[in-house]
Amino acid sequence: MLEQDKLLHGFALLLCISLGSLLSGIAVSEIPLGSKLSVGESNSWVSSNGDFAIGFYNFPDQPKQFSVGIHFNSKFVPVDKQTVVWVAGGDVTVGNNSYFQLQENGELVLFDALQGEEVWTSKTSQLSVALAVLCDNGNLVLLNENRDVIWQSFDSPTDTLLPGQRLSTFRTLRAASQNYVSSLYSLYMNVSGQLQLKWESSIIYWSAGRPSHSNLSAVLTSDGSLQLVAPNLERFWSVFGEDHNDTVRFRFLRLDVDGNLRLYSWMEVSQTWRSVWQAVENQCNVFATCDQQGICAFNASGSHVCTCPFHHAVQSNSKCLVSSQHDCKPGSIMVEHANMFLYGIYPVHDFISRTSLDKCKSMCLSDPSCTAVTFTNDGSAKCRMMKTQYVSGYSDPSLSATSFVKMCSDPLAADPIFPLKSPPQAHKEPYNICIPCLVGAASGTIFVFLVIQLGMGFYLYKRKNNYRRLASLAHSRPGSKCLIMLSFTEIKELTGNFNDQIGPKMFKGALPDKQPVAVKELEGTIEARKFRAAVSKVGSIYHKGLAKLEGYCCEFNHRYLVYEYAENGSLEKYIENPTLAERLTWRKRMDISLNVGRAIFYLHTECREFLCHGNLKCENVVLDENFEAKVKEFGLGMLYGEASSRRASAQKDVEDFGKMVFTLVSGFKEVKDVLDWAYKEWMEGHPENVVDKRLKNEVDAEELECALRITFWCLQADERVKPSMGEVVKVLEGTLPADPPPPPFSCLISAREVEDTSESGSEV
* pLDDT of 520 higher than 60: yes
Is residue 177 within 8 A of residue 726, CB to CB? The reply is: no
pLDDT tens, 611-665? Answer: 888 889 999 999 988 889 999 988 877 776 554 567 778 889 999 999 999 999 9
* pLDDT of 478 higher than 70: no
pLDDT tens, 706-739? Answer: 999 999 999 998 887 889 898 899 899 888 888 8
CA dist., res. 728 & res. 654, Å (int):
8
β pairing state of 401-408 and 332-338: antiparallel
The percent helix, strand, coil of the chain (3-state, each to 5) is: 30, 25, 45
For the chain, give every residue range classified as CATH 3.50.4.10: 316-408
If you average pLDDT over each of 187-196, 324-333, 415-424, 476-485, which comes out highest?
Answer: 187-196
For the chain, give every residue range classified as CATH 2.90.10.10: 27-156
For residue 763, with 0-12 CB atoms within 10 Å meaning exposed, 13-18 middle and 19 or more buried, which class applies?
A: exposed
If DSSP codes are grouped into helix, strand and coil, which group holds residue 578? helix
Local confidence band at 74 (pLDDT 50, 70, 90 cut-offs)? very high
CA dist., res. 49 & res. 219, Å (int):
23
> What is the chain's mean pLDDT, rounded?
82
Mean pLDDT lowest for which of 229-238, 287-296, 403-412? Answer: 403-412
Local confidence band at 541 (pLDDT 50, 70, 90 cut-offs)? confident
Domain 572-733 class, CATH top level: mainly alpha
Return the pLDDT at 214.
Answer: 77
If you average pLDDT over each of 109-118, 311-320, 747-756, which comes out highest?
Answer: 109-118
Return the pLDDT at 452.
Answer: 65
Return the pLDDT at 445.
Answer: 63
Fold of 316-408: Hepatocyte Growth Factor (3.50.4)
Partnered with residue 273 across adjacent β-strands are: 266
Nearest to 602 by CA among 660, 663, 657: 657
For the chain, give every residue range classified as CATH 3.30.200.20: 484-564
Partnered with residue 405 across adjacent β-strands are: 335, 372
pTM of the model: 0.57
Question: Cα-atom radius of gyration of the chain, to the nearest Å?
Answer: 32
CA 580 to chain centre: 27
Return the pLDDT at 420.
Answer: 31
Q: How many CB atoms lie within 10 A of CB 222?
A: 12
pLDDT tens, 569-625? Answer: 899 989 988 888 888 999 999 999 999 999 999 888 877 677 888 889 999 999 988
Sheet strands side by side (includes 36-38): 36-38, 99-102, 108-112, 117-121
CA dihedral 506, 511, 514, 517 (to 10 degrees): -30
138 sits in the region (left: phi over 0; alpha: psi -120 to 50; else beta) called left
* pLDDT of 430 higher than 60: no
If DSSP codes are grouped into helix, strand and coil, which group holds residue 520? strand
Please enumerate in sequence order all residues whose Cβ is within 8 A of that of 172, keeping only pairs 6 or more positions apart, or say none: 157, 186, 187, 188, 189, 733, 734, 735
Is residue 631 within 8 A of residue 600, CB to CB? The reply is: yes
CA dist., res. 618 & res. 631, Å (int):
9
CA dist., res. 590 & res. 568, Å (int):
17
φ, ψ of residue 7 to 5 degrees: the values are: -65, -45
Return the pLDDT at 70.
Answer: 97
For the chain, give every residue range classified as CATH 1.10.510.10: 572-733
Local confidence band at 540 (pLDDT 50, 70, 90 cut-offs)? confident
β pairing state of 295-298 and 304-307: antiparallel
Greatest alpha-carbon pair distance for the chain in Å reads 129
If you average pLDDT over each of 189-193, 446-450, 457-461, 663-667, which comes out highest?
Answer: 663-667
Return the pLDDT at 295.
Answer: 94
The H-or-E segment that residue 762 falls in is: none
CATH of domain 484-564: 3.30.200.20
Return the pLDDT at 128.
Answer: 94
Is residue 310 within 8 A of residue 409, CB to CB? The reply is: no
pLDDT tens, 225-240? Answer: 999 999 888 888 999 9
CATH architecture assigned to 27-156 = Orthogonal Prism (2.90)
What is the residue-wise DSSP string for 421-432? PPPPPPPP----
